[in-house]
Amino acid sequence: GAVVSQHPSRVICKSGTSVKIECRSLDFQATTMFWYRQFPKQSLMLMATSNEGSKATYEQGVEKDKFLINHASLTLSTLTVTSAHPEDSSFYICSARRWVDNGELFFGEGSRLTVL
C-alpha cells in the first residue's frame, strides 16, 4: 500500500523555540495533505488542509501564525510549530490523499512533540 512518512517521530524542544515536522508521500503524489492533532486518549482533530502550491486552509480556532504549513511539492508538506509552549505538546498526524482508489487517505506514523 501507499506509504506516508513523518519525521521526526519524537521531538523534545524548549519553550519558545520552533519545531518543523515533515510529512512525505513516498510512492505517490499528493495534492492534498491534512494535519491533525491528537491529545492523549482523544480523537483526531483536523488542524488544516494543505494544498500543493497554495495557502493552507485552517480550521476554526487554529492559529495560522502559530502553526505554519507549507506544501511546496507534491510529496512534501511541513508543519512548523512556532514559539512552542508546553500546551503545544501533543501528537501530530498527517495524512495524504492519493487520487487513485477513490482518494483514499493514508496516514503518517505521527510525531510526538514535547515542549519543556
Partner 1 sequence: AQTVTQSQPEMSVQEAETVTLSCTYDTSESDYYLFWYKQPPSRQMILVIRQEAYKQQNATENRFSVNFQKAAKSFSLKISDSQLGDAAMYFCAYRSSTQGGSEKLVFGKGTKLTVNP
Give the footprint of partner 1 on this chain (CB under 8 A). 32, 34, 38, 42-44, 46, 49, 91, 93, 95, 97, 102-105, 107-110
Residue 82 or 107 with smaller CB distance to partner 1: 107
- The CA distance from 84 to 87, in Å, is 8
| Closest CB to partner 1 among residues 2, 82 | 2
Query: Cβ closer to partner 1: 75 or 97?
Result: 97
- Which grid coordinates are listed for 4? 506516508
Set of cell numbers at residue 106 = 493514508
Minimum distance, C-beta of residue 20 to partner 1, in the bound complex (Å): 20
Q: Looking at beta carbons only, is 38 or 70 nearer to partner 1? A: 38
In DSSP terms, which residues pair with 38 in a beta bridge? 44, 91
CB of 83 to partner 1, least distance (A): 26
In terms of residues, how long is the chain?
116
Q: Minimum CB separation from partner 1 for residue 15, in Å?
A: 24
Closest contact distance (angstroms) between CB of 93 and partner 1 is 7
Looking up cell 491529545 gives: 39
Q: What cell numbers appear for 100 in the block?
A: 487513485
Q: Which residues are bridge partners to 22 per DSSP?
A: 7, 78
- The residue type found at 46 is L
